[in-house]
Amino acid sequence: MTDAYLALETGDVVEANARAPGAARGELVFTTAYTGYEESLTDPSYEAQVLTFAYPLVGNYGVREDRMESDRVHPSAVVARELTDDVADWLRDEGVPAVDGLDTRDLVLDIREGGAMQVGVSAGPDASPAEARAQLADCPELSDLTDIGARVSVDSVRTYGDGDTDVALVDCGAKRSIVDSLVDRGATVHRLPYDATPADVDAIDPDVLFVSNGPGDPANFDAAERLVDEYVGDVPVAGICLGQQVVARALGGDTEKMAFGHRGVNQPVLDHDSGRVVMTTQNHGYTVADPGDLEVTQVNVNDDTPEALDSDELGVLTRQYHPEANPGPNDTLDFFDDVLAMPETRRVTPAAD
């Protein structure tokens, strides 16, 4: 029995089965990942988006809290060909509408051909096409969500670990595994709100300033951009995903929205220096269009978009992909070792001529 509807920007209304009731709206995107659904669903970068799984069966190894990247589900709704009861019950408990029983291949092709689009969702006993269309009509563009950082960031400083290197992590929607990756390597991580001020950073006196991943348009994270501008050259700066975009903007670069983004665990990345190609996990809908004062050292094999920006002179190291990816691949975890080595490298005084 049809009891769910998706109203697309194309004018189409897609029928589905409700697995968790409710009404929602957001930007319709897809991920090609075939594992890691718990990590994807709790990734803050999916805030205000409706996540479609291209892989047909979601939930075949259950739901475990220790795999989650944050304390809640972030997509405003979830779409799949088939959801197991474990995942459907979890989403129902989280209050997140979920639907299945539709041909997600067609939906993914619509997104690939037309780009990420707005969608309205209506699911449950009282669902109707009219309600789905009403949700679509009220759906803002992602770039208009200027306060999206407040939805996903901490509201006060939180500290993790007790290591020798102090990292000021600007939390624009940070995944838990970023914090874990730094702490496991001997760092003390001070997690700051997305709108932290220089006074907040000065109170920490960090060895590294690190801008996290996060949702939405990097142009809406101007406070983090100002922090990079304030400290670059004096404190080593690192960033992941949205963090790379924010750093580039702070250093004279620019960003742009992609047609449908990179979301999955099989994105190939080429390193210019070594010629090595690594597989990466990614989740972003914006990219660096102009690197500004930074050098592009890695690119995406599929579309040549920047995947890494470096500057030895300024002490900057960023990645567009997620080196800390869970459940994998783990090809690029050494990024965190390189970041934590930056303060020591910059302390070395060049030999006199």
Q: Is 322 a catalytic residue?
A: yes
Answer yes or no: is 264 a known binding residue: no
Answer yes or no: is 214 a known binding residue: yes
- Could you say which of 74, 190, 262, 322 is catalytic? 322
Sign of the Cα torsion 234, 192, 195, 40 reads positive
Residue 322 per-residue DSSP state: B
Answer yes or no: is 114 a known binding residue: no
Answer yes or no: is 286 a known binding residue: yes
d(CA 300, CA 282): 11
Locate 186 and state its tokens.
């001997």
Q: Is 141 a catalytic residue?
A: no
- Could you say which of 225, 241, 262, 307 is catalytic? 241
DSSP per-residue string spanning 181-211: HHHTTTEEEEEE-TT--HHHHHHH--SEEEE
Sign of the Cα torsion 169, 175, 178, 180 reads positive
d(CA 92, CA 159): 32
Residue 253 per-residue DSSP state: -
**Residue 308, CB-side half-sphere exposure with 13 Å CA sphere:** 22
Answer yes or no: is 245 a known binding residue: yes
Secondary structure string (H, E, C) spanning 3-44: CEEEEECCCCEEEEEEEECEEEEEEEEEECCCCCHHHHHCCH
d(CA 297, CA 277): 12
d(CA 192, CA 157): 5
Answer yes or no: is 62 a known binding residue: no
Answer yes or no: is 36 a known binding residue: no
Answer yes or no: is 283 a known binding residue: yes
Q: Binding site for L-glutamine: which residues?
A: 45, 214, 216, 242, 245, 283, 285-286
Catalytic residues: 241, 322, 324
